[in-house]
A and B are shown apart, each in its own frame.
Chain A
């Protein structure tokens, strides 16, 4: 399905190389089920089960995990998507994370 977000993400992929990368951080929350967090990582980011489970366990045990890296535009769109799923996600410049 072509949505404005799809267009935005496609555009972000061709962003100039000099752009500062940003990271998406997902924070631990005693409410969100481990099965749900892992499933969100798989279905939204397309990660394998192994990678999604690894990131989910990092969130659970360390309190946070860097789940994606990319241009500011891409990471902002990803953060908005995580909020639609109900996960607590924030973004930050990669060199400050």
Chain B
């Protein structure tokens, strides 16, 4: 088992075995893929003459601006795991939620993808070093992985969570779900140990992970 994350003067450090890092990187990749724009949307293939090379150079697309301009309602994702990452913002009001999605969902996908990519990059070395900007993003990336795994495992109540939590021994894993449950418990352990380190640190932390700082 890997060492827990620790709070140090220079940031949060942690140590993960190669197999654990590979596992986490694969999980981060899975969520990045899940967050890619809806496959139903009419995509322009990269080689298409309609794809403006100037847009390519900027790394942006006209859709980025269409999305940030807002206005158009966006339906919730059909994949329940993706819906957990991109939840409705207004309860029991589909129209208001769709309008909010039109304004925010594109940026939310981009923000989550950026955090997941940064988390992947942090796993390049066996000794992890997370500074005050990257540690919270790492925690959010772990949380997104857990939300997706929880959906696949059907965790909807505290009892479901308890049932999954009881599985501890990799030698006892008999099914894909058992294996998924053990992966989920590992990510939970990693996130919990990171939260202990970050809570020790919070008094010194003046900026939020997404640059918003303390809003009050």
Binding site for B on A (CB under 8 A): 1, 3, 5-6, 9, 25, 30-33, 35-36, 38-39, 42-46, 74, 76, 78-81, 83-86, 88-92
Verify if B61 is at the interface (C-beta below 8 Å from A): no
6 A-B pairs within 8 Å (CB atoms) are namely A31-B147, A33-B188, A36-B139, A39-B202, A43-B205, A45-B214
Whether B147 and A83, one on each chain, are in contact in the complex, defined by CB atoms closer than 8 angstroms, is no
Whether B90 and A1, one on each chain, are in contact in the complex, defined by CB atoms closer than 8 angstroms, is no
Nearest 5 CB-CB pairs, A to B? A46-B214, A35-B195, A1-B211, A30-B161, A86-B143
Binding site for A on B (CB under 8 A): 84-91, 100, 103-104, 107-108, 111-112, 115, 136, 139-140, 143-144, 146-147, 150, 155-158, 160-161, 188, 191-192, 195-196, 198-199, 202, 205, 207-216
A1-B213, A39-B198, A84-B140 known; A33 vs B192 contact (CB < 8 Å):
yes
The secondary-structure label for the interface of chain A is helix
- Shortest distance from the beta carbon of B116 to any chain A beta carbon, whole Å: 11
The complex places the Cα of A81 from the Cα of B212 at a distance, in Å, of 9
CB-based nearest A residue for B140: A85
- Our pick among A1, A45, A81, A84 for the contact of B216 (Cβ within 8 Å) is A45
